[in-house]
A and B are shown apart, each in its own frame.
Chain A
Amino acid sequence: MKVMSMKEAIAAYVHDGDLVAIEGFTACICFAAAHEIIRQGRRDLTLCRMTPDLIYDQMVAAGVARKLVFSYLGNPGVGSLHAIRRAVEQGIPAPLELEEYSHFGMVGRYLAGAYRLPFFPLRSYLGSDLPGVNPHIRFLESPYGDGPVATVPPLRPDVAILHAQRADCQGNTHLWGLLGVQKEVAFAARHVIVVVEEIVEEAVIRSDPNRTLIPGLVVDAVVCEPYGAHPSYVQGYYDRDNDFYLRWDEISRDQAGTRAWLEEWVYGVQDRAEYVARMGLSTWERLAPGQAPAAPVNYGCYGGSQGRSR
């Protein structure tokens, strides 16, 4: 049985020292999983994410991480990630190792991991100082005589945690809106936890197979966690809580304020359901989007004999 609680999924698949990827580009960032990892007291994690965002700022502040692998270290649309900067610039609460790429470099690393290739070739990094500070970014003379190409090594997380709108009990997952690198990470990782707003019947998934970004084939655990991506958003379900992204800029300015927030909203709640309840209905009403359904498509029914209608 793949369907389990967040507590069970984190206990089963996230271990001290693991390489962990909680992805989702601005959208579908599974804060619920991050908070459970903090509550369970994991240590020495290497955290991969293109954009560490508030989620890794909180995890670094809580002391679960040893290293970050990333490509953009900011509070999107707001400014700095203060907890991560504190760790990097002052070693508070502990020093943090950085391994950085560009976005395309991170995408390429996941792709190589997913395709089980030894590296991914891309035209980037020439003229940049990045290869000088990251020895994993290398250059290769094209075997077809077209000059040098940059290469990045495969990235294969021990576990990927991916949030989406809906999945069936087997983890066949529908995702729409920004796709980020969710599919690539799912295929690259050794284990996959899918976290969804709703668990649906397999028939719902089969009614729209083009929308299945992640097949249950690569999924180990399915967790149903409504509002599990807050304060990020899930397309069609809730908006980004931009007030919180702005407030985090204040909360995270010093370690004491950050700790106080973690005490109240992470250590101080049992699980996501309690967090959701404590946030209150007014939050969820404020973040509810209007309706904009897609036009339906006809996949066609091909069960009958072709000649019959002639």
Chain B
Amino acid sequence: MTEYTQAEMMIVAAARALAGVRTVFVGVGLPNVACNLARRTVAPDLELIYESGVYGARPARLPLSIGDPTLVSGALSVCSMADLFGLYLQRGLVEVAFLGGAQIDRFGNLNTTVIGDYDRPRVRLPGSGGACEIAIHAQQVFIVMRLSRRAFVRQPDFITSPGHLGGVGQRTALGLPGRGPQVVVTDRCTFTFDRTSGEMQLDSLHPGVTPAEVQAEVGWELQLAPDLRETQPPTAEELRLLREELDPQGVYR
């Protein structure tokens, strides 16, 4: 069997979650690669939307940021950020959006603002960017984060972007249009959310990982999905696309 890294497994798992999706709001970093891989594999009709104002990007190189000029050349449309947030996102045209964060809780609420007290932060993080409204409006949110006890916490220091808030039903009660987080892809496993509670549950273990290893990195008592599975390892073709075409320099190895 072909060797692969945890990062590659993570990218491949995120890409596969996009099967059949038409519009995806692409996040910074690793989701960039996952979305481009999905378009070449499980989601051929996928159009990439970037908060910088790009719809239908066809990047000719691995984008260095969400505002890379390669996203503009050959795109279907480039619009102002007012149009992007108003007409694409708030209008409800984004099927799936990728988000990440420094902290996440069991309901998929995300912190990208501060570690510690807001006024005297131990670590000042980047803040919302578009994440707050993306979390509200995207029909579904897919989260990509490395699994670690520092990140998967009982109580985030700040909620930048709402997930399922305090549990299922709370989004609807507040009138948030999107359905909230559906999947959390990590380097060790994939989580989904229990439909009745809105709580994160371990859905699929990447090859060689045990539930105990995952529990050790999660700051609450982990729920297991009734049909806990093992993630299919990356195929030779997925690895070839990643290594030869999408990320030849191995930035995300």
Asked if A178 CB lies within 8 Å of chain B CBs, one says yes
The smallest C-beta distance from A264 to any residue of chain B, in angstroms, reads 25
Asked if B250 CB lies within 8 Å of chain A CBs, one says no
The smallest C-beta distance from A76 to any residue of chain B, in angstroms, reads 4
Asked if A196 CB lies within 8 Å of chain B CBs, one says no
Asked if A85 CB lies within 8 Å of chain B CBs, one says yes
Provide the main secondary structure of the chain A interface: loop
Instruction: Check if A25 sits within 8 Å of B67, measured CB to CB.
Output: yes
Asked if A17 CB lies within 8 Å of chain B CBs, one says no
Q: With a CB–CB cut-off of 8 A, which chain B residues contact A176?
A: 78
Instruction: Check if A101 sits within 8 Å of B128, measured CB to CB.
Output: yes
For window 164-182 of chain B, which residues contact chain A by CB distance below 8 Å? 165, 170-171, 174-177
Provide the main secondary structure of the chain B interface: loop
Asked if A235 CB lies within 8 Å of chain B CBs, one says yes
For the complex, give the distance between the alpha carbons of A71 and B28 in Å. 15
Choose from B122, B126, B158, B174 the contact partner of A129 (Cβ within 8 Å): B158
* Chain B positions 71 through 113: 1 when the CB is less than 8 Å from some CB of chain A, otherwise 0: 0111000111110011001100000000000000000000001
Q: With a CB–CB cut-off of 8 A, which chain B residues contact A177?
A: 69, 72, 78
The smallest C-beta distance from A36 to any residue of chain B, in angstroms, reads 24
Choose from A103, A111, A122, A235 the contact partner of B128 (Cβ within 8 Å): A103
Question: Number of contact residues on B: which range applies?
Answer: 35 or more
Residues of B within 8 A of A (CB): 28-29, 51-54, 63-69, 72-74, 78-82, 85-86, 89-90, 113, 118, 121-133, 136-137, 158-162, 165, 170-171, 174-177
Residues of A within 8 A of B (CB): 25-27, 50-51, 70-74, 76-77, 80, 84-85, 88-89, 100-105, 107, 111, 122-130, 133, 147-148, 176-181, 183-184, 233, 235, 239-240, 242, 245, 289, 292
3 tightest A-B CB contacts, nearest first: A26-B67, A127-B162, A77-B65
Can you report 12 residue pairs joining A to B where beta carbons are below 8 Å apart?
A71-B127, A85-B123, A85-B124, A102-B130, A102-B133, A104-B85, A126-B162, A127-B171, A180-B52, A184-B80, A233-B69, A245-B64
Beyond A127-B170, A129-B160, A235-B72, 16 additional contacts (C-beta under 8 Å) are: A70-B127, A71-B128, A73-B127, A76-B28, A76-B65, A76-B67, A77-B66, A89-B124, A103-B129, A124-B136, A126-B174, A126-B175, A126-B176, A127-B162, A148-B175, A178-B67
